[in-house]
Amino acid sequence: MAQRNYYGTLAKILAKIFEVPQFRGKISPDDLDDAFAEAIATIKEPLGRTGKRELEGILHKRLGWERDYDFHFDLGWALGFESGFQFGYGELRPLSKLPRRSRDLVRRGFGLAKRDKGNVAERRAGGQAEERWFLCIRQRTVGWHNAIERAETAAEKSLAAYELVTGVSEFTHMPLIAAPPGLDFVIVCDDSELSGRYREPRFRQPVVNMPGSEDLVVRITKLIRKENRSELENRIASVVDVFAMIRDETPPELRFLLKVICLEALFLSDDDRDYLGQKLAEKIAFVLGDNKTWIAFAFELLPHLGFRGNFGDMVEDKFVNANKSESRRRLHREIVRLYGKRSAFVHQGAMSRKSTVSPYDYDVLSWLVRLSVIKMLSLAEDGVTHLKKRNNDDSSSFDFLIERLKY
């Protein structure tokens, strides 16, 4: 009877709380259960002696406060970063650098998940186990349910930003940095000694500091954490959002479409309504036509490593200047071809021979998205704030830059 009354009271209070707009859809029964337990501890008397209105008031007061929740997403291993390195919406820390209380909860979480079987990185290090690393994210929210949702989104976007600017996915089948077969993460709320909940991962992503990538990670992290972003910075952040939608199980054609959307988000403005493929190709050709990495590929100067790596150092400035026009023509032709596959697939609504996406198509598109984001990130840092010109001498617009490159 007592148990039935307990849950009956929870249900009534939950219904009452859902009447408050700020709580609707953001408070779960788990949230309420925690607050209910805290309320019982607060009043320090049997539930039967507490009036309904008094109990509701206590719960509303507690649930109306934002609370800090700490989330530790297990990455399995990380290489080349210092503890506390700012990474997307969080920071990287090894287990030994987590708060002492969180450390105990993390260990307990692995034990509960029956995954505490040693570090999968041992096989890479010749038997020397490496310390587990975590992406640590703090969320201040009303309700645990909302905190989980926001923290998982922040983790996805952090890893997407990292993969986007470093191109680490281009290296996934190289043996030295192969992704571990299975990673767990543990979510820890350290508001009380008894906190600690454990969930299965939605993503599996190692973090490796590729040569020369740390600066890019710092720059993209600074941008996505910025509160007052320009239009161009918002476009880059939007690309990160779209990139985060791509999963291992996402069909190749959908991955391809999402990455084309990334290019559209970066380069196309409201004025670009017709002949989108041509306009997109023109803008990318002028802004990336003299990129040494693209030129190394376009003129077949790359070794047999496909798109893995940055081989721009192989190209001399003299070669770039002599072949800039031809490089832009080849890039323009490639973008038109790739956009044609996007259009054929979208407008026909079914796969055809023309719209079939090959591994080559996906690889070159991924590579161009990465180069485009890095270039636009540099332009944003140099004072370009928006796409469309506001007047003839609008030097802070991207379109002004394109016109200058044309003529």
Residue 145: what pLDDT?
A: 82
The residue ranking higher by pLDDT, 267 or 297, is 267
Tell me the average pLDDT of the chain.
Answer: 79
| Highest mean predicted confidence (pLDDT) among 1-5, 274-278, 368-372 | 368-372
Q: Cα–chain-centroid distance for residue 251?
A: 19
User: Do 153 and 282 share a domain, yes or no?
Assistant: no
Contacts of 332 (CB under 8 A, 6+ apart): 281, 282, 284, 285
Task: Yes or no: say if 151 and 139 are a contact pair by the CB < 8 Å rule.
Answer: yes
User: Torsions phi, psi of 394, nearest 5?
Assistant: -80, 85
* pLDDT over 50 (residue 235): yes
Same domain, 204 and 243: no
Whether residue 217 is contained in a domain is answered as no
More confident residue, 340 or 350: 340
Q: Which tops the pLDDT comparison, 7 or 92?
A: 92
Q: 55 with 77, same domain?
A: no
pTM flag (> 0.85):
no
**Which strand ranges, in their side-by-side order, compose the sheet holding 67-74?**
85-87, 90-94, 133-141, 67-74, 185-187, 197-199
Q: What pLDDT does residue 349 have? A: 53
CB 79 within 8 A of CB 153: no
Mean per-residue pLDDT, 219-224: 96
The tokens of 29 are what? 């029964």
Domain that holds residue 198: 67-208
One domain for residues 399 and 272: yes
Q: Within this chain, do residues 311 and 248 fall inside the same structural domain, yes or no?
A: yes
Residues 96 and 21 in one domain: no
More confident residue, 278 or 60: 278
Mean per-residue pLDDT for 339-359?
Answer: 71
The answer on 11 and 137 residing in a single domain is no
Residue written as token pair 């026909």: 348
Same domain, yes or no, for 253 and 402? yes
> What phi, psi does 136 have (nearest 5°)?
-100, 125
SS3 content of the chain, % helix, strand, coil (to 5): 55, 10, 35
pLDDT value of position 176: 40
Q: How many CA atoms lie within 13 A of 8 on its CB side?
A: 7
Distance CA 308, CA 174 (A): 9
Same domain, 105 and 230: no
Residue 104 and residue 204 in one domain: yes
| pLDDT at residue 87 in the model | 94
Region of poorest pLDDT, from 69-78, 92-101, 376-385, 394-403: 69-78
Same domain, 10 and 112: no
One domain, residues 173 and 193: yes
- 399 or 130: whose pLDDT is higher? 399
Q: Which residue, 208, 238, 272, sits at the end of a domain? A: 208
**CA 293 to CA 166: how far, in whole Å?**
14
Number of domains in the chain: 3
Helix ranges, 268-316 (H): 276-288, 292-298
Task: Dump pLDDT digits (tens) for 157-198.
Answer: 999 999 899 887 654 444 343 333 344 556 776 555 556 676
The residue with greater pLDDT, 378 or 22, is 378
Stretch 87-104: mean pLDDT, rounded?
Answer: 88
